[in-house]
């Protein structure tokens, strides 16, 4: 079974500063994908970034980057130049490869990010 741990229930950051949201994972499968989603108060889960277990380089998507440390089983999300609109709940999730695992994401408990002006 897979497990995601997000140890920060809430984080605060000043507008325009960078922030790191922590995520550690546990799986025995060698092939897996790690995801970060943003969930505003409206409820929609917005895909931010993806990292495959065999990817050699850390994933980046605009202001989002994933600090992937495979040996430590961590996949921290870094948001650069925070904006007020970044205030939301952030979830880390894992999906392992395999026919019985398609579509099955295991989520962490989430981190509420608040960006102050």
Partner 1 sequence: KAGVTQTPRYLIKTRGQQVTLSCSPISGHRSVSWYQQTPGQGLQFLFEYFSETQRNKGNFPGRFSGRQFSNSRSEMNVSTLELGDSALYLCASSLGQGNPGELFFGEGSRLTVL
Contact residues toward partner 1 (CB under 8 A) are 31-33, 35, 37, 42-47, 50, 52, 91, 93, 95-97, 99-110
Between residues 42 and 71, which has the closer beta carbon with respect to partner 1? 42
Q: Of the candidates 78, 90, 75, 1, which has an alpha carbon nearest to the alpha carbon of residue 37? A: 90
Q: Which residue has the tokens 């995601």?
A: 4
> At closest approach, how far in Å is the CB of 13 from partner 1?
23
Between residues 13 and 25, which has the closer beta carbon with respect to partner 1? 25
For residue 49, list its beta bridge partners: 36
> At closest approach, how far in Å is the CB of 68 from partner 1?
14
CA distance 52 to 59: 9
Distance of CA 107 to the CA centre of its chain: 9
> At closest approach, how far in Å is the CB of 51 from partner 1?
10
Between residues 9 and 117, which has the closer beta carbon with respect to partner 1? 9
> At closest approach, how far in Å is the CB of 28 from partner 1?
16
Cβ contact 47:34 at 8 Å: no
């Amino acid at each position: 079974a897979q497990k995601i741990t997000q140890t920060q229930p809430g984080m605060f950051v000043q507008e325009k500063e960078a922030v790191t949201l922590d995520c550690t994972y546990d799986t025995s499968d060698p092939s897996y994908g790690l995801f970060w989603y943003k969930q505003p108060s409206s409820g929609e889960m917005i895909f931010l970034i993806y990292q495959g277990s065999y990817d050699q380089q850390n994933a980046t998507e605009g202001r989002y980057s994933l600090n992937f440390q495979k040996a430590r089983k961590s996949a921290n999300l870094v948001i650069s130049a925070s904006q007020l609109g970044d205030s939301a709940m952030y979830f880390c999730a894992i999906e392992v490869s395999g026919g019985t695992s398609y579509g099955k994401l295991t989520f962490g408990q989430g981190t509420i990010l608040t960006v102050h002006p």
